[in-house]
């Protein structure tokens, strides 16, 4: 529009295509006004260049900009049957009527520069804020809804029929955004405010499943809101759970929404300046399976009269110093955490320089850890390990409970590290890597039990941890990249790098652990392991139990060595595990050589070897075991076509010739018999190269 008047629609404007209404003097759709389009309807008081409008760029979107202080106000009905509805202004965008875009997006944005894209996700983004305001007291229904104000304010308030309902389509997930952020060159700053008190917000997908709601601003208020979704994420500076907010959270959790609150200080520094606190001053109680995650970049406090409780299988996470700045972030419970009627878990994280105050905690005496979880207790509080100094500090309290922070510990140049725990003073606590990228670039050497952990004691647990591109070397004692000797539990541990025993034939070396006398479960080794004594791809010697684990590195030994693709010497149990090669010749050298175990004096069940063997001349060699004085079940197999071995066992109790499978047979589930479960939820997944453990694929 080129005149000086407001564009006012009091009647009906309809079209089968798209309608763009650009007027810097303002746009008003009256109470009886109706706009109906088949494509997009765009109403903007910001201008767009003619050539850009006529030839929208393929990359970078269409830029709307200007200095207008006029408003876009809808009091009537805006409908797009096949497209989107976008309302854009630098000052105010208000919807007090209805917006209906069942197959597209409804997006309301304020800013002095706004960028409009085409796609199946959010399409409007504010480049430059204007301290404007977006207000909704009407009804918005669309596949995706986005209210965006950058450094301004968003009011999603309860009107007579006010609601935001994202319904999704086959190509667009149901999603509601309320965003009051400013993006700088180095960070995203929560600079605006969101008032959603009393709002009705729902997000679901076209198939009826729950969608997502995201709110992000300096101050986010949700007390009295009715939020229904599968996930509800709140990002804000500080977050206080008062009585009204507690009722809102409780209701949404009980109605099926898992909630995450991220208090990040709102200054773009993510806790580096000691900001970002959560205070729970009122009780949050819910039933069902949903989870409540409260992440504070500084500290978190549960007030003296507050109760956090779940009845069902829900979980609770209370986290301080979530960005890992060692800022003294603490978790303080002055109230009650009641999980006595829940089988879910409660997890707390606090900075090593901070503190944990447990308060009153009620756990469920019937709780049992899930299989392969490695958990010990229903309620666990972890000190955070964020850097090398923190990792070294673990040795100061070998009975402590630790977790990796939210990012990996990585070194481009190898860093020397002394093993945690010894035979005299083993590690008896818990260390959870949390799957946060692991530890990369360590150089660990010693003359006794050597690894990231020298010795893990009987009560010690290491879980969900990866050690990558690292080296462990021992001149005498057992050596593994993660542990020299394990008497405890190692669960979901992975290792990549090099392990070497430089001593004589008494040396023991394994990819993950030198000597296992405890349990190794669902673990993975892709390590180059070498030594003159007993050498295995996963463990040098196994006197305990190895379950659902894999080795696919290389194993190299001297002329008198005992070598196994998975285990050098097995005196314990191996179940549902396998070895294979990344490159041909995975096991080379040695006097006693086996695809799974060099020497077996224990029990091996439901496992297989796809390792290739290139032993020294005259070596005792078997596709499964070099020597067998123990028991190898009938459901254990080896690659008879490409392993290089002529029998499953080189010496001792033999295995039937039917245990040898060709390359083609390894790719056929029928070859493995009825005890191997390849069902939809079974342990194994078939592949052309041989069975894969389901947990490894994440299915």
- The single-letter DSSP state of residue 159 is -
**What digits encode the pLDDT tens for the residues 454-480?**
999 999 999 999 999 999 999 999 999
Q: Is there a contact between 333 and 359 (Cβ–Cβ < 8 Å)?
A: yes
The pair phi, psi for residue 19, each rounded to 5°, is -125, 125
Would you state the pLDDT for residue 627? 98
The DSSP-derived string for 73-132 is: EE-SEEEESSS-EEEEESSEEEE-SEEEEEEEEEEEEE-SEEEE--SSS--EEEEE--S-
User: H/E element holding 251?
Assistant: helix 243-254
Beta strands of 315-457 (E only): which ranges? 315-319, 331-333, 336-342, 346-351, 356-357, 360-362, 379-385, 401-404, 409-417, 430-432, 439-446, 453-456
- Maximum separation of any 2 CA atoms in the chain, in Å: 99
Label residue 159 by pLDDT band (50, 70, 90): low
Ordered strands of the 113-116 beta sheet: 62-65, 113-116, 124-128
Q: Cβ contacts of residue 684 below 8 Å, gap of 6+?
A: 576, 669, 672, 676, 677, 678, 691, 692, 693, 694
Would you state the pLDDT for residue 273? 78
The mean per-residue pLDDT over the stretch 592-606 comes to 98
Q: Cβ contacts of residue 57 below 8 Å, gap of 6+?
A: none
**What digits encode the pLDDT tens for the residues 526-566?**
999 999 999 999 999 999 999 999 999 999 999 999 999 99
Would you state the pLDDT for residue 94? 97
Would you state the pLDDT for residue 270? 67
| CA-based nearest residue to 218, from 279, 268, 271 | 268
- How many beta carbons lie within 10 A of that of residue 12, not counting itself? 12
**How many alpha carbons fall within 13 Å on the CB side of residue 14?**
6
CA–CA separation, 464 vs 432, rounded Å? 6
Quick check: helix, strand or coil at residue 392? helix
Would you state the pLDDT for residue 174? 93
Label residue 203 by pLDDT band (50, 70, 90): very high
pTM above 0.75, yes or no: yes
CA–CA separation, 398 vs 404, rounded Å? 16
| CA-based nearest residue to 255, from 230, 225, 234 | 230
Q: What is the dihedral of CA 364, 367, 370, 372, to 10 degrees?
A: 100
CA–CA separation, 546 vs 551, rounded Å? 11
CA–CA separation, 244 vs 238, rounded Å? 17
Would you state the pLDDT for residue 183? 72
Is pLDDT at 507 greater than 80 in this prediction? Answer: yes
Mean model confidence pLDDT for the chain: 94
Would you state the pLDDT for residue 43? 97
Quick check: helix, strand or coil at residue 261? strand
Quick check: helix, strand or coil at residue 272? coil
User: H/E element holding 243?
Assistant: helix 243-254
The pair phi, psi for residue 343, each rounded to 5°, is -105, 10
- The single-letter DSSP state of residue 696 is H
**Segments in 381-535 forming alpha helices (H):** 388-393
Residue identified by tokens 């109760």 is 307
Quick check: helix, strand or coil at residue 201? strand
Q: Cβ contacts of residue 304 below 8 Å, gap of 6+?
A: 334, 335
- The single-letter DSSP state of residue 420 is B
**Segments in 402-510 forming alpha helices (H):** none
Would you state the pLDDT for residue 509? 98
Is pLDDT at 322 greater than 90 in this prediction? Answer: yes
Would you state the pLDDT for residue 639? 96
DSSP bridge partners of 260: 233, 293
Would you state the pLDDT for residue 698? 84
**What digits encode the pLDDT tens for the residues 253-309?**
999 999 999 999 877 776 667 789 999 999 999 999 999 999 999 999 999 999 999
CA–CA separation, 565 vs 521, rounded Å? 17
Would you state the pLDDT for residue 699? 76
Quick check: helix, strand or coil at residue 158? coil
CA–CA separation, 25 vs 7, rounded Å? 8
**What digits encode the pLDDT tens for the residues 335-352?**
999 999 999 999 999 999
The mean per-residue pLDDT over the stretch 644-660 comes to 96
Would you state the pLDDT for residue 560? 97
Beta strands of 447-488 (E only): which ranges? 453-456, 461-474, 479-480, 483-486
CA–CA separation, 563 vs 530, rounded Å? 9
Q: Cβ contacts of residue 406 below 8 Å, gap of 6+?
A: 322, 323, 324, 436
- The single-letter DSSP state of residue 671 is G
Q: Cα–Cα distances in Å, from 478 out to 191, 418, 462, 488?
A: 55, 15, 18, 16
Beta strands of 129-245 (E only): which ranges? 133-136, 139-148, 153-156, 163-166, 175-179, 182-183, 188-189, 193-195, 200-203, 212-216, 219-221, 226-228, 231-236, 239-241
CA–CA separation, 566 vs 545, rounded Å? 13
The pair phi, psi for residue 657, each rounded to 5°, is -60, -25
**How many alpha carbons fall within 13 Å on the CB side of residue 612?**
10
Q: Cα–Cα distances in Å, from 86 out to 10, 71, 80, 281?
A: 19, 13, 10, 39
What length is written for the chain?
699
Would you state the pLDDT for residue 637? 98
Would you state the pLDDT for residue 191? 76
Would you state the pLDDT for residue 158? 64
Residue identified by tokens 């089968």 is 16
For 648, the token pair is 């499953």
- Domains within the chain, CATH numbers bracketed: 1-230 (2.160.20.10), 237-407 (no CATH), 430-697 (2.160.20.110)
Q: Is there a contact between 47 and 64 (Cβ–Cβ < 8 Å)?
A: yes
User: H/E element holding 301?
Assistant: strand 300-302
Parallel, antiparallel or unpaired: strands 113-116 and 62-65: antiparallel
The mean per-residue pLDDT over the stretch 625-638 comes to 98
Kindly state the percentage of the chain with pLDDT values over 70: 97
Label residue 76 by pLDDT band (50, 70, 90): very high
CA–CA separation, 4 vs 23, rounded Å? 9
User: H/E element holding 610?
Assistant: strand 608-610
Q: Cβ contacts of residue 24 below 8 Å, gap of 6+?
A: 1, 45, 46, 47, 66, 68, 70
Would you state the pLDDT for residue 53? 80
Would you state the pLDDT for residue 584? 53
Q: Which of 54-58, 195-199, 557-561 has the lowest mean pLDDT?
A: 54-58
For 17, the token pair is 């295509």
CA–CA separation, 65 vs 354, rounded Å? 47
Alpha-carbon radius of gyration of the chain: 31
CA–CA separation, 408 vs 644, rounded Å? 40
CA–CA separation, 113 vs 125, rounded Å? 9
């Amino acid at each position: 529009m080129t005149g000086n008047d407001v564009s006012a629609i009091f009647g009906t404007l309809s079209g089968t295509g798209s309608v763009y209404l650009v007027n810097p003097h303002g746009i008003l759709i009256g109470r009886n006004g109706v706009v109906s389009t088949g494509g997009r309807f765009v109403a903007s008081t910001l201008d767009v260049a003619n050539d850009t409008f006529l030839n929208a760029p393929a990359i970078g979107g269409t830029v709307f900009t200007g200095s207008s202080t006029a408003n876009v106000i809808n009091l009537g009905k805006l409908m797009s049957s096949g497209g989107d509805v976008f309302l854009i202004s630098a000052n105010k965008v208000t919807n007090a009527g209805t917006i209906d875009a069942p197959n597209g997006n409804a997006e309301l944005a304020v800013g002095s520069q706004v960028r409009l894209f085409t796609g199946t996700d959010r399409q409007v983004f504010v480049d430059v804020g204007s301290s404007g305001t977006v207000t909704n007291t009407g009804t918005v229904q669309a596949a995706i809804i986005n209210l965006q104000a950058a450094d301004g304010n968003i009011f999603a308030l309860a009107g007579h029929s006010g609601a935001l309902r994202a319904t999704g389509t086959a190509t667009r997930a149901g999603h509601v955004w309320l965003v009051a952020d400013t993006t700088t060159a180095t960070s995203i700053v929560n600079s605006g405010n969101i008032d959603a008190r009393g709002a009705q917000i729902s997000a679901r997908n076209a198939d009826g499943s729950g969608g997502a709601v995201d709110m992000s601003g300096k101050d986010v208020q949700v007390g009295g809101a009715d939020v229904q979704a599968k996930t509800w994420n709140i990002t804000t500076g500080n977050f206080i759970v008062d009585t009204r907010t507690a009722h809102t959270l409780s209701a949404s959790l009980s109605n099926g929404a898992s909630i995450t609150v991220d208090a990040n200080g709102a200054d773009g520094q993510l806790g580096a300046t000691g900001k970002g606190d959560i205070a729970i001053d009122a009780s949050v109680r819910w039933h069902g399976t949903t989870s409540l995650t409260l992440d504070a970049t500084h500290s978190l406090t549960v007030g003296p009269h507050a109760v956090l409780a779940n009845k069902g299988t829900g979980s609770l996470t209370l986290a301080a110093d979530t960005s890992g700045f060692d800022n003294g972030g603490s978790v303080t419970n002055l109230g009650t955490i009641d999980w006595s009627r829940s089988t879910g878990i409660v997890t707390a994280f606090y900075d090593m320089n901070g503190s944990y105050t447990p308060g009153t905690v009620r756990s469920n005496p019937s709780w049992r850890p899930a299989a392969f979880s490695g958990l010990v207790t229903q309620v666990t509080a972890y000190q955070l390990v964020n850097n090398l100094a923190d990792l070294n500090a673990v040795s100061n309290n070998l009975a402590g409970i630790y977790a990796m922070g939210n990012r990996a510990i990585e070194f481009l140049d190898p860093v020397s590290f002394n093993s945690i725990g010894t035979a005299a003073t083993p590690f008896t606590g818990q260390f959870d890597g949390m799957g946060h990228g692991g530890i990369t670039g360590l150089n660990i050497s010693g003359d006794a039990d050597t690894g990231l952990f020298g010795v893990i004691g009987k009560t010690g647990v290491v879980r969900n941890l990866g050690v990558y591109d690292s080296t462990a070397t021992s001149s005498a004692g057992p050596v593994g990249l993660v542990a020299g000797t394990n008497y405890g539990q190692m669960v979901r541990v992975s290792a990549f790098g090099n392990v070497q025993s430089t001593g004589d034939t008494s040396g023991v070396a394994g990819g993950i652990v030198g000597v296992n006398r405890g349990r190794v479960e669902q673990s993975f080794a892709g390590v180059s392991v070498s030594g003159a004594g007993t050498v295995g791809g996963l463990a040098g010697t196994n006197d305990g139990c190895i379950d659902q684990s894999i080795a696919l590195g290389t194993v190299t030994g001297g002329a008198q060595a005992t070598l196994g693709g998975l285990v050098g010497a097995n005196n314990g149990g191996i179940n549902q595990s396998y070895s294979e090669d990344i490159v041909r010749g995975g096991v080379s050298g040695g006097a006693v050589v086996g695809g799974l175990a060099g020497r077996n004096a224990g029990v091996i069940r439901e496992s297989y070897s796809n390792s290739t063997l290139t032993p020294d001349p005259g070596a005792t060699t078997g596709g499964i075991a070099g020597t067998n004085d123990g028991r190898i079940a009938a459901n254990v197999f080896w690659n008879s076509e490409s392993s290089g071995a002529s029998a499953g066992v080189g010496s001792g109790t033999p295995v039937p010739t039917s245990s040898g499978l060709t390359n083609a047979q390894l790719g056929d589930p029928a070859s493995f018999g009825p005890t191997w479960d390849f069902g939809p939820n079974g342990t194994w997944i078939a592949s052309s190269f041989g069975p894969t453990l389901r947990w490894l694929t994440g299915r």
